[in-house]
Amino acid sequence: MSHSITKICEDFLSELNQAIGEQSADSIFVLTDENTRKFCLPLALKSPKLEGCHIICIPSGDENKNINSAVEIWKYLSENGATRKSLLISLGGGMITDIGGFTASTFKRGMRYINVSTTLLGAVDAATGGKTGINFLGLKNEIGVFAPAETVLINIDFFKTLDDANLRSGYAEMVKHALIDTREEWERVLKYDLEKLDFIELKELLARSIRIKERVVEQDPFEANIRKALNLGHTFGHAFESWSYKIENPVLHGYAVMWGLLCELYLSFVKLNFPKDELLRLKYLTKEFYGTFEFSCQEYDALFELMTHDKKNDSKEINFTLLANVGDIHINQTATKEEIFECFDFFREG
């Protein structure tokens, strides 16, 4: 699998022009949602390369990352003469880059696409690494393919349109990357002040975070081995996220991941003796900036059932990535139902 070129832009429009120019496409389609059409598309359309391009807009929100939206995108591409030599530009957060990559890589067996990431979460998580997908039957990213973008462009200025909750959602994935990397990176990310945002410092942290992910993906593009490290926090996190949609009280992906990290570091503490003081540091950060996810012990079985459907499971057992320490990764770990319920207890005790 080839790798995307990821660029944190210094001059967004000229780098966008260059990325489009390198593709020599016969026609260009730009995929947005309602938010990015309003806040980000006007700047992108200043590129002379996008003169006369086709705009596809779908409703925003992860609940719209589904087969119906994919069908609408394919239909638009088909009716407007898209070919395998066309180019799709996915302009948006993780939802748009996930569904954009999926529809582009399956249309006519694959057309090229560029990701322009407009959210911190999308930049640090979904836009790089070649994973694409849609949600299906209430399960996160259940249908998808590995198909990297030609280029990933990240324009930090777009992040200034985000509210605190969406910035914190992205920061959660940076916390995860730091945990699987080094103690030095973990300390650096924890020092970042979420109450007084410094975008220059954020840009440096983001560049480091993306490099951590890219190093892992290069070693294992199809998630047979070490790439599973990037799933830290996601087995519990995806269950919380899917449940939030089921009860019609959706939570942001990064919030679900942060709560999942807390559960999985507790499981790491129980099974691999992960340091308790580092677990408590994460617990403090989570309570302070992410609050909690309310559920009762009557709902443990439903959450457990969602975890059994996670695509990371290789067998009937639920598969986890756990840590014996910061940067000390143990993939393909399993836990009993009782151990998982103990994590729920720990999470709820506040």
Provide the residue ranges of all domains of the chain, joining segments of one domain with +.
Answer: 5-159, 167-348
- d(CA 226, CA 258) in angstroms, rounded, equals 21
The sign of the CA dihedral 206, 209, 215, 220 is negative
Q: What is residue 138's predicted lDDT score, i.e. its pLDDT?
A: 87
Round the average pLDDT of the chain to a whole number and report it. Answer: 94
Instruction: Return the residue matching tokens 């967004």.
Output: 12
CB 154 within 8 A of CB 11: no
CATH code of the domain made up of 5-159: 3.40.50.1970
- d(CA 254, CA 345) in angstroms, rounded, equals 21
Q: What is residue 1's predicted lDDT score, i.e. its pLDDT?
A: 56
Q: How far is CA 281 from CA 69, 188, 258, 286, in A?
A: 40, 14, 13, 9
* E strand intervals along the chain: 5-8, 28-33, 54-58, 87-92, 112-117, 134-136, 139-143, 151-154, 319-325, 328-334
DSSP element (H, E) containing 269: helix 253-272
Q: What is residue 2's predicted lDDT score, i.e. its pLDDT?
A: 61
Q: What is residue 315's predicted lDDT score, i.e. its pLDDT?
A: 65
Superfamily of domain 167-348 in the CATH hierarchy: Dehydroquinate synthase-like - alpha domain (1.20.1090.10)
Number of Cβ within a 10 Å radius of residue 160:
10
Q: pLDDT digit string (tens) for 10-21?
A: 999 999 999 999
Q: Which of 30, 12, 209 is nearest to 129 (CA)?
A: 209
pLDDT averaged over 10-residue windows placed end to end, the chain, 350 residues: 81 97 95 96 97 97 95 98 97 96 97 96 85 92 94 95 96 98 98 95 96 92 92 96 94 97 98 98 97 96 92 77 97 95 94
